[in-house]
Amino acid sequence: MNAFNHTHPVLTCESAKALEASVLAEEAAEWAAMKRAGQGIARLLVEDYTELRPVPAHVRILALIGKGNNGGDALITCGQLLAEFPRARVDLILTSSIEELRPLAARALQQLEGRVHSHQVTSQSDVSSITQLLNEVSNGSPFHLCIDGLLGMSFSPPIRPPMAALIEAVNAFEAIDLRASVDLPSGKGDACDEAICFHADFSYATGIAKKPLFAGIADCGRIRYVDLGFFQAPQAGDLAIKESILLDSVLDPIRRLRPAGVDKREFGHLFIVGGSAFMPGALLMAVQAAVRSGVGLVTAFAPASVAASLAAQVPEAMWIPWPETANGTLNPRAMPLLLDRVGMASAVLVGPGMGKDRHTELVTQQIVQQVECPILLDADALRTRVAEVVSKRRPHFGRIVLTPHMGEFMRVAKLAEANYSIEALLDFSASYRVITVLKGPNTRICDGESVIYNTQGGPVLSRGGSGDILSGLIGGMIAQNNVCVATAVARGVMLHGMAAQRLARSQGQVAVHTTQLLDYLPDVMRG
């Protein structure tokens, strides 16, 4: 997948340890990386907290400090937050004596001397005594941030005292706004089935994104990647990878000046087929997103009864009224409307709001069979019998892209239950020769050979219409025909996720409506 030019590998903890050891062979390099990690985590923490509210000047921070480098990262993070918020109060809970801290963690703690409040738990501390300590330290006020720096990728079970009791007590302590883990939640690892692990709202993967993060959303929360430059080192050059994390640099080419004197046709022509008399809004949102994707032309094929009203709302697109069935869906007898014009299209998007009857299924099947350019199938186009036609598509035709959520993926892949394994995604995408965009907390892009994770977005996207906007953006990126389809897909996914984050950081996660995403696209595209 050419999008790998804008990705970094996702590795097992064991592989990550080996790479990190080779890159950070000297203590000076290790200390520099620790400082970059702490600075990066602090910056992202402040940004992520704003999805709740602005960070208060008197922010209260609870940090759980282990004796290793994760503890050091957490301490550097606290120092950065104190530099930005001088009135902050930081409470540290140490699980070992200062003498037991590893040299770099001890160095990081020394830099905080006189600016933090330290508390010690011992192997004799239990959940009850630690809960009492938390109540005393909080003094009736909630902690705005809790930073987990107890255990890292070197952890091997079991969790020893007093960490098990500390994790259990903090997990149960309700007066915390945002819980963050350094690198990965304490208790997580390659082959770890610990009953106890830290429950994070966000996990800040430092230097290398680790595989356990993508196997346990419930404990890991949302994933943030803090790039420390490890993959610029020569030691990282020979990695064979199947999983990777998408970088926002995938958007850099569309943030450049366009050539002078270009024509709109040079930026592609997207056809969108969808809508129904009873569900025109999905088509409308897909078209609204497409016209903001940078594509030169958009033509929408809409049910005749709603085409005029939709055209009035998005006059930038060209609207073709499509004769309807008695159910208000697209009539397959009107296929010549599309086929007579499709030579002008550089990509076709099918599905938003079109309904799930046999008529729309026939329309979609005929498009897959007869249209040569790349096709994106979304929403109501994701049907079992459509997938069967997809698998027989002529090899020289353009790529097919599917954008299912898990329920739709189960349907087209004929799965009896939800399967989040990468093997299921790889097998399906390879068997049907498609690029699959499996939407979810970490949307995955798969071409049958590899999987790319996108960690941008978040719960603000958990509302009707988010997928329609995504399909419009991806369709517009594919239609521009200036990169391979996989890279165009990755751009659309990243653009959608970053716009969602900007919306949430500006307006919160709850009292927003889906089309507000559109207002944040220009800022993301401008960088």
CATH number, domain containing residue 358? 3.40.1190.20
pLDDT score for 319: 99
- Domain assignment present for residue 492? The answer is yes
Of 219, 241, 263, the domain-final residue: 241
- Contact yes or no for 185/199 (Cβ under 8 A): yes
Q: What number of other Cβ atoms are within 10 A of residue 431's Cβ?
A: 12
Q: Distance between CA atoms of 85 and 87, rounded to whole angstroms?
A: 5
In a domain, 246, yes or no: no
The CATH number of the domain holding residue 59 is 3.40.50.10260
Q: Are residues 258 and 229 in the same domain?
A: no
Q: Are residues 294 and 231 in the same domain?
A: no
The answer to whether residues 140 and 280 belong to one domain is: no
Are residues 21 and 75 both part of a single domain?
A: yes
Please, what sign has the CA dihedral across residues 446, 451, 455, 459?
positive
- Provide Rg for the chain, Cα atoms: 25
Residues 189, 286 within the same domain: no
Examine the fold and report which residue of 212, 241, 270 is the final residue of a domain before the chain moves on.
241
Question: Do 367 and 487 fall within a single domain?
Answer: yes
In a domain? residue 178 = yes
| Domain containing residue 117 | 2-241
Together in a domain, 216 and 302: no
pLDDT surpassing 70 at residue 194: no
At 1 the pLDDT is 62
Q: Is residue 351 part of a domain?
A: yes
Q: Are residues 264 and 174 in the same domain?
A: no
pLDDT of residue 385: 96
SS3 436: strand
Q: Are residue 386 and residue 443 in the same domain, yes or no?
A: yes
User: For the segment 306-359, what is each residue's pLDDT rounded down to a tens digit?
Assistant: 999 999 999 999 999 999 999 999 999 999 999 999 999 999 999 999 999 999
Q: pLDDT tens digit string along 453-467?
A: 999 999 999 999 999
- What was the pLDDT predicted at 237? 65
Query: Using CA atoms, how far apart are residues 310 and 352, in angstroms rounded to an integer?
Result: 14
How many Cα neighbours within 13 Å face the side chain of 472?
Answer: 31
The residue from 203, 219, 241 where one domain ends is 241
pLDDT tens for 51-108 read 999 999 999 999 999 999 999 999 999 999 999 999 999 999 999 999 999 999 999 9
pLDDT tens digits, 268-320? 999 999 999 999 999 999 999 999 999 999 999 999 999 999 999 999 999 99
Domain tally for the chain? 2
The answer as to whether 86 is a domain residue is yes
Q: What pairs with residue 435 in β-bridges?
A: 401
Let me know whether 269 and 220 are in one domain. Answer: no
- The pLDDT, as a whole number, for residue 157 is 85
Cross-strand bridge partners of residue 400: 375, 434
229 and 259 both lie in a single domain? no
| pLDDT greater than 60 at residue 239 | yes
Q: Among candidates 486, 469, 409, 480, which has minimal Cα distance to 440? A: 409
Give 382-438 pLDDT, tens digit per residue: 999 999 999 999 999 999 999 999 999 999 999 999 998 999 999 999 999 999 999
In the prediction, which pLDDT does 147 show?
A: 99
Q: How many CB atoms lie within 10 A of CB 341?
A: 15
Residues 401 and 300 occupy one common structural domain: yes
